[in-house]
Amino acid sequence: MSTRMNIDWPQLMLTRIAAQFEEELLAASDEEIIAAAKDLGMNPGMQGSAAFAGIKYPVGARQLREFFGITDWSSAPIEAQRLAAARELLPFLVARARKHQDEK
Amino acid sequence: MPQRKMLVPILAETPAQAARAQNLVSDMDLLRLKTIARWHARGLPADVGWADLLQEAFARVLDGSRRQPQGLSMVVFVAGVMRSLKSEHWRRAGRELHYQRAQAAEPREPAPDPERTMAALQELAAIDRLFADDPVVLQIIAGIGEGLSAEQIRTAIGISSTEYDSARKRMRRVLIREGLTCRQE
């Protein structure tokens, strides 16, 4: 098995799962959506329902940031730290996979 | 999407405004698409939100860059456009990574994309946490991830088709709830 295949499996798994989730959500009946909304205390039949947050009116942090012109309301620094950690970790994983492959 | 050109020939501030411009979908379909957009946006970088993804999809439909195939409902079509936009994002990110490596004269052997791998691992862990209380659903999801058919999954877990359908309903309800929740990423 190549190194690339060892590394790519999370993406492949996630792609398959996301495709199935999409199918499930497309197949969901109106009743199922209303029931799930009611579980959350939402009433999609009501004008301005929280269920429509982000689609009928902006509520996302990014949208609010754009509205108020505030630039530091962002998870970007956290994301940058996460990616930096990933960059440090990945060469180690690749080296280990190669070593494993060589041993085989 | 980071490098997007402006697409919609209307001033749309929300996906609903973009969609409503030509009465593309009903309110219930908008909710359906919201839940799907949230799932597709989870593997994307933090600066690309689900609303951006959904709005971009409507924009592509409205400006004609994506044409709806005959017989395909608008909601299925828009969901497909979102999926395609997500792939497009990763393809572009992959090309940039390749270019950077070429510039740095690094070896050209196929190498993994660390951002994408890490995002996928985090997302798989999040899915695990979401269904932690339902081991049957978790097993079904694991089977789906492995590329097994429904029949193969049922056989592997040892459940009847009624139990399988019932687990799928539970899964769907959690997915919808997660998609409708007010938490914004």
The Cα B33–Cα B39 span in angstroms is: 10
pLDDT tens sequence across B105-124: 555 555 567 777 887 888 88
ipTM of the complex: 0.78
Select the residue from A5, A21, A83 to test the B interface by mutation, using most B Cβ atoms within 10 A. A21
A17-41 per-residue burial string, b: 16 or more CB within 10 A, e: under 16: bbebbbebbbebeeebbbebbeeee
- Greatest mean pLDDT range, A5-19, B52-66, B84-98, B134-148: B134-148
A32 to chain B: closest CA residue: B173
Which of B45, B172, B184 is closest, CB to CB, to A79? B45
The Cα B48–Cα B41 span in angstroms is: 7
For residue B1, with 0-12 CB atoms within 10 Å meaning exposed, 13-18 middle and 19 or more buried, which class applies?
middle
State whether B176 and A78 contact (CB < 8 Å): no
Q: Which residue has the tokens 């998609």?
A: B179
State whether A16 and B28 contact (CB < 8 Å): no
Supply the pLDDT for residue B95.
Answer: 62
pLDDT tens sequence across A44-102: 888 788 888 888 777 655 555 555 444 454 555 556 666 666 666 667 667 777 777 77
pLDDT tens sequence across B133-168: 999 999 999 999 999 999 999 999 999 999 999 999
The Cα B43–Cα B9 span in angstroms is: 29
- Of chain A, the percentage scoring pLDDT greater than 70 comes to 57
Supply the pLDDT for residue B99.
Answer: 62
Handedness of CA B171, B174, B180, B185 (dihedral sign): negative
State whether B176 and A25 contact (CB < 8 Å): yes
- Alpha helices, H only, chain A: 3-27, 30-39, 61-68, 76-103
> Using a CB-CB distance cutoff of 8 angstroms, which residues of chain A are in contact with residue B112?
4, 7-8, 90, 94
Integer Rg of chain A from CA: 21
B88 or B148: which carries more pLDDT confidence?
Answer: B148
